[in-house]
Amino acid sequence: MNNERNWRRTLLGVVDTVTQPLIAVLISLLLGAVVILIIGKNPLAAYGSMIRGAFGKQVYLMNTLKRATPIIMGGLAVCMAWRSGYEAMGGEGQMILGAMAAALVGYYLPAPGWVRILAALLAAAAAGALYSTLSGWLFERFDVTFVISTLMLNYIANYFASFLCNYPLRDPEANVYQMQNAQTGELPAGATLPPIAKGWVHWGFVLAVIAVIIVWFLFKKTSFGYKSRMGGLNPRFALYGGINARRMLYLVMILSGVMAGLGGAFETLGSKSRYVDQMIFSTGYAWTGMVAALLANMNPIGTLVASILLAGLAVGSSQLMLMDIPLEVCNIIEGIITLFMSARMIRIAAGNIRRRKQAKGGGEA
Amino acid sequence: MVFEMKHITKTYDTVVANDDVSLHLNQGEILSIVGENGAGKSTIMKILYGLEKPDSGEIFVGGKLQRFHNPSDAMAVGIGMVQQHFMLFEQMTVAENIVFKNELKKGPFMDMERTVETVRQLSERYGLKIDPAARIADCPVGLRQRVEILKILYQNANIIIFDEPSAVLTPLEVEALLETIRGLAKAGKSIVLITHKLQEVMAVSDRVYVMRQGRVVAERMAADTNMEELAMLMVGHPLASYEIDPPKPGATLLETKGLSLVENGRQVLSGISLRVNAGEIVGIAGVSGNGQSELIRCITGLEKSTGGQVLVGEKDVTNRSVREIRDAGLAHISEDRYVWGSAPEGTLEENTLMARQDEMPFSSRGVIHPRAIREYAQRLIQGFNVKASSPAQKMRELSGGNAQKLIVAREMSLDTPVLICCEPTRGIDIGAMEAIHSRMLQRREAGAAILLVSSELTEIMSLSDRIYVIFEGKIVGEFQRGSMDDKHLGLLMVGGSIEHE
């Protein structure tokens, strides 16, 4: 009987993590509909084409999944750090360095293609981890808050990468007069992450899903996950129980940096085949990942789902332009939905309802 | 009579903080309210100052019925309060702080000259020396308190409440403060002094109320009483002692040698040497805030001491990590169950697992075994009669007593030779309290060395084989069970001596 109850609890937990983002999406779609009505279009038709544009055809769906890949990794990086109580926002910088490291190793390493891929992934993971550790060290040694250090380090990483691909490592073959961003040399054919099958998303997405499972396992099934959660829930309790806070800080920051760095590598190796100036910065992958993680309350599986939804939203809203809805309005709708989905109030409201139900159920205790 | 409070009752959730409290203050009088922590003395004054609303009862100021919604209302009828924690702007000057909210203006700007002059006059009138132009950040604590007092005087308060004013002061500053209080009364102000330091009470007050467990239990004229009587009234009569067999002498399992701690230039612990033997409960009696918390944090590794040694068994664990100290054979029921002792948002399972997460059968090679963890949690919940619906429910959903029982269960189940119990029964009901006490006695029978810290003197007296008294970071006395009565202990706890007996 007890087992049955536990089962129900687990099931409820799963339903919880999935329904909350969905409720958020629904409410925000309603608000978005108001905006569409104001500019005199039919919201239903608009949403229809949005959904079709995101998930309706294989091409669109694959586009969405491709876009979701770095978002998932950015989200996992946030899950790692935030669940342990370190509110770091350095995913963007780590992702940029990861993307750049992968682009350079993949381009310059004289080795067969698959070795280049492996080496590029390793280099990206290392770059992300080191950069993330740096903010951890600043926090531990000098009390620099994560918000400040990570945000500033993000700029440094972006401009450093920008400098590299504009000057010393600029692709000599790219047309200098072309109106486009600077970039590094293109990876040779065998050195990129290929599509899973013809017309499918690249293998980076599969690796991202594997990363989700690994993080889920770490959180749920290891004593490391237990310690990091306790540190996040009450750092004093963790200290009192003998958990080594310093060791946890660095472990967590390294793992978080590895996730973000790999996210950058997937984008380089699977999508762009090189580092293109601003490729991570202007797309906001890391930030969307943070929204996904917040939305899923730091649950890795929920982060996966939310990342795909958010990627679909971006891909799908570009379809609205075909209906003569201006790009700006598309962005407003995307903004409203993102804002609403990330609003904590939804989770709080859901929590209140549950508590009230429990109170009604009473007696059980 | 400048104010009168009639039949005030105030409850927080299930705790009755004030139970039908009536008191009054006369013109120009210095009134003290004494009592142990949690006796309700701060609550009653917060009600008078408009910080809290009573559930029932009436307040009369100057003969008129008042209803305060916030401190501004109280201030408007001349009531001011010097809080324990000062509310000053560090980066502004003394004068600016004093006139805050009632600035003297010249057009839209502050009239600095007139401000400084007014503050100077005020300070001279009451003999409270300050430099109006000094920055608060550069002022020592005693001066800051003086600024707080001037702030209240500037707002024309006639009734001044001091909430534990000497808690943060050095002995010399205390002398000056008492002088100030006398001066204010002479100048016609009426004073209420909340404290648990009896020397101060005897030194300045005209009249004293004693509070215990939310009630006024006695009213005395200072001239007609003495520290012994007040200490006795504060503590109340001891509960019936537990029947305890005399301790069997055992090896010393916990020892500190000259343990010291200097924090921000303040000597918090000075040379504390104590030992706890196997099969013995040793109590540390003291008014809270005399270094008990710091002592325990230094022993358990939560804070680094600045001198001396800590030994667990044979092992020197001075300033080692919490992990190493726990591994040397020490468990610790912490003084605050939600700040240190648990993660309220975590499940009961997670809360019972703490400190054992890397042990078999709960995990192997870093992978946890949820089944073993759940069974363990269930065993502790049942074994200690914790009222809970499921090991997967959250810690904060438990009542205070049940949460405490779970923490006690966790730490006792570690089966360590040394057990530290800090305020093990604070704020919980009698049933849970007795359950925890009897567990402690069982562990003692089993040969554990138990160090008990409590601000409840009755708890210390009824459980301990030996008692150390701590006052201002020093051990000021050591007694065997039965060789000491609560009156004398109470006196030692507040810094008195018993030599004149």
B366–A222 C-beta distance less than 8 A: yes
The whole-chain average pLDDT of chain A stands at: 86
For residue B415, CA distances in Å to B45, B386, B422 come to 45, 19, 17
pLDDT value at residue B85: 76
CB pairs under 8 A between A and B: 74
Domains of chain A, each with CATH number or no CATH: 65-310 (1.10.3470)
| B377 Cβ under 8 Å from any chain A Cβ | no
At residue B294 the predicted structure's pLDDT band, cuts being 50, 70 and 90, is very high
The answer, yes or no, to whether residue B490 has pLDDT greater than 90, is no
- Mean pLDDT of all residues in B442-455: 92
Percent of chain A scoring above 90 in pLDDT: 54
Rounded Cα–Cα distance for residues A47 and A313 (Å): 10
ipTM for this model: 0.79
pLDDT value at residue A362: 36
At residue A359 the predicted structure's pLDDT band, cuts being 50, 70 and 90, is very low
At residue B240 the predicted structure's pLDDT band, cuts being 50, 70 and 90, is very low
The whole-chain average pLDDT of chain B stands at: 88
pLDDT value at residue B56: 93
Rounded Cα–Cα distance for residues B84 and B144 (Å): 11
**Alpha helix segments (H runs only) across A41-168:** 43-51, 58-83, 91-108, 113-142, 146-166
* Contact (Cβ atoms closer than 8 angstroms) between residue B8 and residue B44: yes
From A255's Cα to the closest Cα of chain B, the distance in A is 16
Residue B163, SS3 per DSSP = strand
Q: Name the pairing type of β-strands B207-212 and B215-221.
A: antiparallel
pLDDT tens, position by position, A214-239: 999 999 999 999 999 999 999 999 99
**Residue B294 dihedral angles phi and psi, to the nearest 5°:** -65, -40
Chain B positions in Cβ-Cβ contact with residue A251 (cut-off 8 Å):
none
Encoding tokens for residue B227?
Answer: 């520290």
**Residue B167 dihedral angles phi and psi, to the nearest 5°:** -55, -35
| B339 Cβ under 8 Å from any chain A Cβ | yes
Chain A positions in Cβ-Cβ contact with residue B357 (cut-off 8 Å):
223, 226-227
| B86 Cβ under 8 Å from any chain A Cβ | no
The answer, yes or no, to whether residue A308 has pLDDT greater than 60, is yes
Encoding tokens for residue B472?
Answer: 């201002």
A365–B346 C-beta distance less than 8 A: no
pLDDT value at residue B171: 66
Three-state SS for B12-34 is ECCEEEEEEEEEEECCCCEEEEE
Chain A: residue nearest B370 by CA?
A221
> Which amino acid appears at position B61 of this protein?
V
Residues 6+ away with beta carbon under 8 Å from B304: B298, B319
pLDDT tens, position by position, B429-442: 667 788 899 999 99
From A230's Cα to the closest Cα of chain B, the distance in A is 7
| B342 Cβ under 8 Å from any chain A Cβ | yes
Residue A355, SS3 per DSSP = helix
The answer, yes or no, to whether residue B38 has pLDDT greater than 90, is no
Rounded Cα–Cα distance for residues B270 and B268 (Å): 7
Burial of residue B114 (CB within 10 Å: 0-12, 13-18, 19+) is middle
34-73 of B, contacting A, C-beta below 8 A: none
A5–B366 C-beta distance less than 8 A: no
Chain A positions in Cβ-Cβ contact with residue B388 (cut-off 8 Å):
365
pLDDT value at residue A228: 94
A233–B346 C-beta distance less than 8 A: yes
Burial of residue A48 (CB within 10 Å: 0-12, 13-18, 19+) is middle
Percent of chain B scoring above 70 in pLDDT: 95
Chain B positions in Cβ-Cβ contact with residue A9 (cut-off 8 Å):
390, 392
| A155 Cβ under 8 Å from any chain B Cβ | no
pLDDT value at residue B499: 52
- When CB atoms are compared, the residue of A9, A223, A234 closest to B358 is A223
B353–A226 C-beta distance less than 8 A: yes
Top-ranked range on mean pLDDT: pick from A48-57, A119-128, A241-250: A119-128
> Which amino acid appears at position B87 of this protein?
M
- Mean pLDDT of all residues in A308-328: 83
At residue A361 the predicted structure's pLDDT band, cuts being 50, 70 and 90, is very low
| B391 Cβ under 8 Å from any chain A Cβ | no
At residue A123 the predicted structure's pLDDT band, cuts being 50, 70 and 90, is very high
B345–A234 C-beta distance less than 8 A: yes
* Contact (Cβ atoms closer than 8 angstroms) between residue B31 and residue B208: yes
From A261, A304, A267, select the one nearest A282 (Cα to Cα): A267
pLDDT value at residue A178: 61
Chain B positions in Cβ-Cβ contact with residue A227 (cut-off 8 Å):
357
pLDDT value at residue A60: 92
| A236 Cβ under 8 Å from any chain B Cβ | yes
pLDDT value at residue B175: 85
* Contact (Cβ atoms closer than 8 angstroms) between residue B412 and residue B439: yes
Top-ranked range on mean pLDDT: pick from A55-69, B81-95, B279-293, B449-463: A55-69
160-199 of B, contacting A, C-beta below 8 A: none
pLDDT tens, position by position, A87-119: 899 999 999 999 999 999 999 999 998 999 999
A234–B343 C-beta distance less than 8 A: yes
pLDDT tens, position by position, B349-399: 999 999 999 998 999 999 999 999 999 999 999 999 888 888 999 998 887
B321–A234 C-beta distance less than 8 A: no
Chain A: residue nearest B326 by CA?
A242
pLDDT tens, position by position, A173-189: 766 666 578 888 889 98
The answer, yes or no, to whether residue B127 has pLDDT greater than 50, is yes
Q: Which of A38-52, A318-332, B146-160, B312-326 has the lowest mean pLDDT?
A: A318-332
B383-415: b (≥16 Cβ within 10 Å) or e = ebebebbbbbbebebbbbbbbbbbbbbbbbbee
Chain B: residue nearest A227 by CA?
B357
Rounded Cα–Cα distance for residues B271 and B473 (Å): 8
Chain A positions in Cβ-Cβ contact with residue B390 (cut-off 8 Å):
5, 9
A283-303: b (≥16 Cβ within 10 Å) or e = bbbbbbbbbbbbbbbbbbbbb
B387–A364 C-beta distance less than 8 A: no
Rounded Cα–Cα distance for residues B500 and B489 (Å): 15
Q: In what helix (H) or strand (E) does residue B300 lie, and over which residues does it extend?
A: helix B292-300
pLDDT tens, position by position, B63-113: 899 999 999 999 999 999 998 778 889 889 999 999 888 888 888 888 888
At residue B37 the predicted structure's pLDDT band, cuts being 50, 70 and 90, is low
**Residue A113 dihedral angles phi and psi, to the nearest 5°:** -50, -50
Domains of chain B, each with CATH number or no CATH: 3-235 (3.40.50.300), 252-329+416-493 (3.40.50.300), 346-406 (no CATH)
Mutate to test the interface with B, among A7, A84, A216, A240 (most CBs of B within 10 A): A240
Q: Which of A180-184, A277-281, B59-63 has the lowest mean pLDDT?
A: A180-184
* Contact (Cβ atoms closer than 8 angstroms) between residue B251 and residue B278: yes
Encoding tokens for residue A132?
Answer: 């993330």
The answer, yes or no, to whether residue A347 has pLDDT greater than 80, is no
At residue B125 the predicted structure's pLDDT band, cuts being 50, 70 and 90, is confident
Q: Name the pairing type of β-strands B15-25 and B3-12.
A: antiparallel
pLDDT tens, position by position, B152-169: 999 889 999 998 888 767
Q: In what helix (H) or strand (E) does residue B115 lie, and over which residues does it extend?
A: helix B112-125
